[in-house]
Amino acid sequence: MRTLPISVIALTLFCVAGCNNAKSPDTVAKDVAAAEQKASNEVADSQKDASKDIGKAADKVDDKLADLNTTVASNAYTIALTKADGDKKIALAKCDALNGDAQKSCKQQADADYAAAKANAKAAEVANKQ
């Protein structure tokens, strides 16, 4: 039984003595270089992952902006048509004060202005959706 405690003590002293020994400069340099390379690779991997995540987020933002642009363009078109319709009604009401060819010409002008306003509204809608 005495050999067991002595062997345990000897093993403990051996480990403690070995743990405090400095490594050679070449070994330290290799270990440092390996640690630097590993850290550099981990940073590069982390940057690559972050770039992918940012790209995905940017795609989502682009999709949301496209949806927003479409909604804004559609609403602007609806507003422009409503305004053009109102302008046409006002113009036609003013035409009622005229007689004969003047009234006919006035109504044709109101219709032409309405058609132009619709075309402009549609062109603006298409341009704003892009």
| 56-97: pLDDT as tens digits | 888 888 888 888 888 888 899 999 999 999 999 999 999 899
What is the pTM assigned to this prediction? 0.56
Structural domain contains residue 63: yes
Number of domains in the chain: 1
Considering the chain, what is the average pLDDT of its residues? Answer: 84
* pLDDT value of residue 62: 82
Structural domain contains residue 71: yes
Structural domain contains residue 15: no
**pLDDT for 15 beyond 60:** no
**pLDDT for 10 beyond 60:** no
* Contact yes or no for 89/110 (Cβ under 8 A): no
Q: How confident is the model at residue 9 (pLDDT cuts 50, 70, 90)?
A: low
**pLDDT for 12 beyond 70:** no
Q: What single-letter amino acid sits at 115?
A: A
In 64-95, which positions are buried (b, 16+ CB within 10 angstroms) versus exposed (e)? eeeeeeeeebeeebeebbeebeeebeebeeeb
* pLDDT value of residue 64: 85
Residue for token pair 């479409």: 70
**Domain that residue 89 falls in:** 50-130
Structural domain contains residue 22: no
CA distance 23 to 31: 10
* pLDDT value of residue 106: 92
For the chain, what percent of residues have pLDDT higher than 90? 38
Q: How confident is the model at residue 1 (pLDDT cuts 50, 70, 90)?
A: very low
* pLDDT value of residue 37: 92
Structural domain contains residue 36: no
Structural domain contains residue 96: yes
